[in-house]
Amino acid sequence: MFAHVIIDNPSSQTDMEFDYLIPDNMSVKNGVRVKVPFGSGNKPTLGIVLAVTSETSYEGNIKEIIEVLDSDPILSAEYIELAKYIKSETICPISRILNLMIPLAKRLKTIKYFQIINGDNLDANLLEEFKGESIVKITPRFDKYTDTIKQSIKNGDLKVITDAVEKKVNKWTKKYLVNITNYNQYYDDFKSAKAKEALNALIRINEELTLDELMDLCNISTYLIEKFKKYGILEERYELTSRIKNRVLSTKNKEIEDIVYVNKYLTKYQENKKFLYLANNKKEELVFLKKVIEENLRNNLNTLIIVPDILRGYEVYTRVKSLLNCTICNLNSSIDNNEICDYFDLIKDNEYQVVVTTPAYALWCYQNLGCILLMDQESKNYRNDQSPRYDLNLVMNKKSDLLNTKIIYHSYAPLLSTYTKAMLGELTLLSTKAIVNNQITIVDMMESLRRLESNVISNTLRDKMNETFKKHDAVLLILNNKGYSKSVSCRACGTTYSCPSCKIPLQLNKEKHVMYCPACFYKEDEITNCKKCFSDKLSYNGFGMEKLEAVVKEMFPNQKIKVLKESSYFELEEIIDDLNENNLDIIITSDTFSKSIESERLRLVGIIDLDVILNNPSFDANHLAYAMLSNTNQILSNGELVIQTYNPKHSILKHFIINSYDDYYFEELNNRKALKVEPLYEVNRILVKGDYNQVFKIANNIKKTINNILKQDVIIIGPSYNYKEKMVQLIVKHKNPNINRIYMHIYELYQKTTTLIIFDRYSKVIS
């Protein structure tokens, strides 16, 4: 029998199935991990078995599998099929996709050993380091023998061998248990009252205890523990310990009221497979989530909830856990690799009825799924910008087909492409236009500047904040810029400091004392004097969270302020606790993190600079802004939203205020029709990396190839140099559903050359 194996190697040169002989005494199934010899040196390497067959087409010498690492498949047939689908969509080595389906700790790491061939000829001091063993792991203690080792290897007296072992390190806890036979036999040998008291406590509790538990519960000293061990009264045992930690935000447990029209959603949920759910507010979202999970539980099915970022995960996990009596876990990239591996093993054993995860673990092999729920599906975090470059919206749709499970796309402002599918009937639309209780105020910042008001906090927002504080309520300020200023210039000589590659102004981060390029992330130290004229008259134009915090502290010196910039569970937990305990008045954060902050004390939300998003150099800037407004509005259960902008008459504001996504959708669709972009045209990016003197020529050849094959309904922009990626770039706009056949042909042409071609069909950053 033979196994078709994918090797754990990200190179396109090894992107193929390798045949290995299955030894007669070995049982191998599709989807298991195996250790196989690979390459001319037969290096032990991790592989995934895709198929087991009785024949092979390979005519050379076929190597044997060294070891099977799983008793049961780690990947099912459906997930192997999903990996092949992603490969066809992204044109990248399949091993990179398979590695997203198993945790890092389940992969293998290479360990090198010294093996003694002829010990009689070895240096005596070097031989001493082996401590009587013939094979030992190579460690830094051998560094002082480098020259001796080289000579011993050359003489054939010493050999370097390699092996591959799992990266996962199990955690074992030592426990102590009473041996009843020895307890009865030696009880009378102990005469002291202290020993008798300890022995009586041991037999009374009579269960496995850790060292600390022994000392606390039985009042036993370490001396007595050692003595009891010597007599065999206490036996040592080692227990495999889970590293899973409970991370739940504080929440007020309260019953949620039923919402009548959500029950109608549930009827549709029972009758159909694929849905677009347009939520109105957090309360409705939670009722819907609860009912869907309960429906799955009634049918003994599990629910997979995918969230776009870490903090949103903690928020959803906490709310579901507080409402439902079910087994639930929360996965994200901030969790330790070994803890993640513990979760993986439990999920494989079908231990969780609800899983909340970020995109990092969305491709895992989940068991017995009744529904996949993709929260905030419009988020750009669902587009993976590293190989494999996929769109999770499409991948989860394929996953639902393969597993024959339901899928729900959740959003307050869905992608235009997703809403189009709902309009065409490909998705069942779950939507009811509820009354919006929030008051919305638009502040014209141009008028504010004419009145010589602050360009950070307008007088209108300042006054509303003061009114909120008088009622002992809290304010949330949203700004999508972490730094201090958007540019640094010298007022004396007029120099503006720019990126040497991109030629755009460097932004300032005072907290880290650096100036950086927002496009290619070039960095240099913060300056206090102009490099050209040495003047200290520096001008900081524009603003970010750092300057906003400084302005707010000066304007409201008696209010308690916190800034949330990172995906930190502990910072979010502290903010939620302080809000609930009335110890916090102002929170400053981005729109992404704002979605995770929930409190009845939040009665005012201020969007400090809507134009940061509206002026984004991307065709979907309008949608990014509309989605931010929609997501922000639902944070308030009944409060006021203040929007500061230099474009108060922008069309998206009109549609947002009257809560008409349909009007916005059709207007934006017309705009995109003129631009020839999504959802009417697919917009791809091709990146070419190689010899600088050749890459533009290669890119032009690729452009000609695509134009010659498609001839119509295709527009190719470029080639141009992408400073961030440090590659030459082509932008391809097309309507061809079979474009990947062309891309695959181009990929194969350059696969064995030194030129790297990357096909990015679902880029986050196309402008």
Q: Residue with structure tokens 């009374």?
A: 204
Q: Count Cβ atoms below 10 Å from residue 290 Cβ, excluding itself.
A: 17
Q: Are residues 386 and 469 in the same domain?
A: no
Q: For residue 682, which amino acid is it?
A: E
- Nearest-angstrom CA–CA distance, 234 and 225: 8
Structure tokens at 723: 């400073």
Alpha carbon of 191 to those of 181, 186, 320, 628, 703: distances in Å?
A: 19, 11, 57, 76, 93
Give the per-residue pLDDT at 435: 64
Q: What are phi and psi of 21, to 5 degrees?
A: -80, 135
CATH number at residue 21: 3.40.1440.60
Is 604 within 8 Å of 464 (Cβ atoms)? yes
Half-sphere exposure of 272 (CA within 13 A, CB side): 19
Does residue 181 surpass a pLDDT of 80?
yes
Give the per-residue pLDDT at 725: 83
DSSP E strands: which ranges in 460-550?
474-478, 487-490, 507-509, 514-516, 523-525, 538-541
Does residue 309 surpass a pLDDT of 80?
yes
Could you tell me which of 637, 723, 655 has the C-alpha nearest to residue 687?
Answer: 723
- Nearest-angstrom CA–CA distance, 227 and 348: 43
Query: How long, in residues, is the chain?
Result: 767
Residue 560 lies in a domain: yes
Is 213 within 8 Å of 207 (Cβ atoms)? no
- Nearest-angstrom CA–CA distance, 163 and 175: 32
Query: pLDDT tens digit string along 650-689?
Result: 999 999 998 889 999 999 999 999 999 999 999 999 999 9
Instruction: Using pLDDT thresholds of 50, 70 and 90, give the confidence band for residue 767.
Output: low
Query: Which domain-ending residue is among 58, 76, 107?
Result: 107
Full residue range of the structural domain in which residue 744 is found: 682-760
Could you tell me which of 678, 760, 657, 764 has the C-alpha nearest to residue 718?
Answer: 760
Query: pLDDT tens digit string along 611-657?
Result: 989 988 888 999 999 999 999 888 886 889 999 999 999 999 999 99
Give the per-residue pLDDT at 430: 93
Q: Are residues 217 and 99 in the same domain?
A: no
What are the residues whose beta carbons fall under 8 Å from the beta carbon of 169, sequence distance 6 or more? 105, 338
CATH number at residue 350: 3.40.50.300
Q: List the single range of 72-76, 186-190, 219-223 with lowest mean pLDDT.
A: 219-223
Q: Are residues 448 and 593 in the same domain?
A: yes
Q: Are residues 728 and 598 in the same domain?
A: no
What are the residues whose beta carbons fall under 8 Å from the beta carbon of 52, sequence distance 6 or more? 1, 2, 3, 4, 22, 28, 29, 30
Q: Are residues 294 and 398 in the same domain?
A: yes
Q: Residue with structure tokens 């091993």?
A: 95
What are the residues whose beta carbons fall under 8 Å from the beta carbon of 741, sequence distance 6 or more? none
Could you tell me which of 365, 368, 304, 359 has the C-alpha nearest to residue 33?
Answer: 365
Strands 369-374, 302-306: pairing is parallel
Q: Are residues 155 and 201 in the same domain?
A: no
- Nearest-angstrom CA–CA distance, 429 and 37: 52
Range 454-472 average pLDDT: 94
Residue 140 lies in a domain: yes
Q: Are residues 101 and 124 in the same domain?
A: no
Q: Count Cβ atoms below 10 Å from residue 558 Cβ, excluding itself.
A: 6
Residue 503 lies in a domain: no
Residue 255 lies in a domain: no
Query: Which domain-ending residue is among 151, 166, 181?
Result: 166
Does residue 752 surpass a pLDDT of 70?
yes
Range 395-424 average pLDDT: 96
Could you tell me which of 167, 108, 160 has the C-alpha nearest to residue 135?
Answer: 160
Q: Are residues 233 and 299 in the same domain?
A: no
Helix (H, G, I), strand (E, B) or coil at 673: helix
CATH number at residue 726: 3.30.70.260
Give the per-residue pLDDT at 78: 95
Does residue 714 surpass a pLDDT of 70?
yes
In 407-482, where does DSSP find H-type helix? Answer: 416-423, 445-450, 459-470
Q: Are residues 426 and 293 in the same domain?
A: yes
Residue 524 lies in a domain: no
Q: Residue with structure tokens 């007296």?
A: 157
Give the per-residue pLDDT at 254: 55
Q: Are residues 287 and 389 in the same domain?
A: yes
Q: For residue 594, which amino acid is it?
A: S
Could you tell me which of 270, 265, 250, 210 has the C-alpha nearest to residue 234?
Answer: 210
- Nearest-angstrom CA–CA distance, 588 and 555: 14
Does residue 389 surpass a pLDDT of 70?
yes
Residue 347 lies in a domain: yes
- Nearest-angstrom CA–CA distance, 639 and 127: 77
- Distance, CA of 394 to chain centre: 17
Query: Which domain-ending residue is among 672, 700, 724?
Result: 672
Structure tokens at 217: 């519960």
Query: pLDDT tens digit string along 16-27?
Result: 899 999 998 889
| Number of domains observed in the structure of the chain | 6
Is 28 within 8 Å of 82 (Cβ atoms)? no
Q: Are residues 189 and 321 in the same domain?
A: no
Query: pLDDT tens digit string along 204-262?
Result: 888 888 888 888 888 888 888 888 989 999 998 877 777 777 777 766 555 677 787 88
What are the residues whose beta carbons fall under 8 Å from the beta carbon of 467, sequence distance 6 or more? none
Q: Are residues 339 and 359 in the same domain?
A: yes
Residue 162 lies in a domain: yes
- Nearest-angstrom CA–CA distance, 373 and 364: 15
Is the backbone of residue 219 left (phi > 0), alpha (psi -120 to 50) or beta? left
Instruction: Using pLDDT thresholds of 50, 70 and 90, give the confidence band for residue 499.
Output: confident
Does residue 437 surpass a pLDDT of 70?
no
- Nearest-angstrom CA–CA distance, 182 and 228: 10
- Find the helix or strand (DSSP H, E) in which 351 lies: none
Percentage of the chain surpassing pLDDT 70? 98
Query: pLDDT tens digit string along 286-299?
Result: 999 999 999 999 99
Quote the mean pLDDT of the chain.
90
Structure tokens at 684: 């791809």
Is 17 within 8 Å of 50 (Cβ atoms)? yes
Structure tokens at 376: 């905030």
Residue 363 lies in a domain: yes
Query: pLDDT tens digit string along 535-583?
Result: 888 888 888 899 999 999 999 999 999 999 888 888 998 998 998 889 9
Instruction: Using pLDDT thresholds of 50, 70 and 90, give the confidence band for residue 764.
Output: confident
